[in-house]
Amino acid sequence: MQRVPQLRWAVLPSGAPPFFCEETTGLSGIWTDMDATAEVPIPPHDAALTPSALITIDYIDPPEAIAPFVTTLYHFRCDEPVIRDIQPAAIGQICLFPHGTGEIRFANGHCDPNHPVGLLTPLSRATPIVVDGPFHAFGAALTPLGWAALTGLHAGQHRDRLLPAASVLGAEFGALGESLLGAYRNGAMSGPACAGAVGDFIGHNLRPVNPRHLDLIIAVGGWLGASFNPDIGDLAGVAGYSARQVQRLVERYFGLPPRALARKYRALRAAALLSGPHLAPEDEAAIAEAFFDQSHMIREITHFVGRSPARLSDTATPYLAELIDSRNLRELRN
């Protein structure tokens, strides 16, 4: 396995599994992405979501050897006949579904079925979900480095998809996944044990990443964590690359170009702070300075997190509160 510095990402691990939208999601409202010309739907603020008391998620720390590549292993379960929530924008995930069926419909209108042994590619925005339950899932949430080292795929060119994992990770993982699904269903293995087996596969199947690209990934992680509004110009010359090369490589490894990536992480970090029980005055001031005005903040957080700020700490919502808890924010360190 390639030796890399211990990376702890200043991002949300998005450790909960992806979910699957019905053909009609009841979306209402649109706004124009500042980095694109296409209008995208916003999830309704008053949508009826599955209460958190009906959902259980276990987050499992990955072994130290794969910690730079995996933010968290997870085991999710909800035995309701229908589960509704919103998946925040996230890095890629390996996701296995022993129970529950449906589809995920992305903002561009593309729809993928929930493959029992799946690979969710990086999400560019929050995605509403509806699942026919009961719904159980286990798997691993990847860091940008983990996505690259495990899949070899360009994160930007393959974002916003749910793929059959074997099509990317090979028949060996497809067979392992089916075996784990069977063991989970018949009670031979617990969810955390199955997630651990996924982690073991990751540890044995990582590919080396170009050392200069690794330097860039580390630098971008530090850049994202340094400020709510990091200066794009600070990336010029990183790892010896030109501004245009940095632009291309950031999208390759993080799924979005630098400006959009900074927007995404600003929204996620602000949401993490706003979801806490107590907002420190200095954090409140930092958030206020990070956005043009309140309506801008609401649009950005809704776009990337799937909730308006007023609903971030809503105890009636499901796993989102756990995802954006500040203790789940990771900081980059060498």
- pLDDT tens digits in sequence order for the chain, 334 residues long: 554 444 333 333 333 444 433 332 232 232 233 343 333 444 444 457 788 789 899 999 999 999 999 999 999 999 999 988 788 888 899 999 999 998 888 888 888 888 999 999 999 998 877 889 999 999 999 999 999 999 999 999 999 999 999 999 999 999 999 999 999 999 999 999 999 999 999 999 999 999 999 999 999 999 998 899 999 999 989 999 999 999 999 999 999 999 999 999 999 888 888 877 788 888 889 999 999 998 999 999 989 988 776 656 555 444 444 444 433 344 333 3
Q: Which of 204, 223, 248 is the last residue of a domain?
A: 204
CB neighbour list of residue 215: distance below 8 Å, 6 or more residues apart: 238, 239
Same domain membership, residue 196 and residue 215: no
At residue 127, the pLDDT reads 83
Residue 215 lies in a domain: yes
Same domain membership, residue 55 and residue 169: yes
Residue 226 lies in a domain: yes
At residue 9, the pLDDT reads 37
Q: Which of 161, 189, 204 is the last residue of a domain?
A: 204
CATH number at residue 73: 2.60.120.10
Same domain membership, residue 230 and residue 199: no
At residue 311, the pLDDT reads 58
- 189: part of which helix (H) or strand (E)? none
Helix (H/G/I), strand (E/B), else coil: 26: coil
Same domain membership, residue 282 and residue 167: no
Same domain membership, residue 81 and residue 172: yes
Task: Please tell me the total count of domains within the chain.
Answer: 2
Residue 14 lies in a domain: no
- 185: part of which helix (H) or strand (E)? helix 171-185
Residue 242 lies in a domain: yes
Q: Which residue is listed with tokens 């890095």?
A: 91
Same domain membership, residue 223 and residue 198: no
At residue 2, the pLDDT reads 52
Domain that holds residue 244: 211-328
Cα 169 from chain centroid (whole Å): 19
Residue 16 lies in a domain: no
**Residue 200 burial (CB < 10 Å; 0-12/13-18/19+)?**
middle
At residue 19, the pLDDT reads 44
Same domain membership, residue 262 and residue 118: no
Same domain membership, residue 246 and residue 151: no
Q: From residue 125, how far is each of 15, 187, 261 by CA, in Å?
A: 16, 36, 11
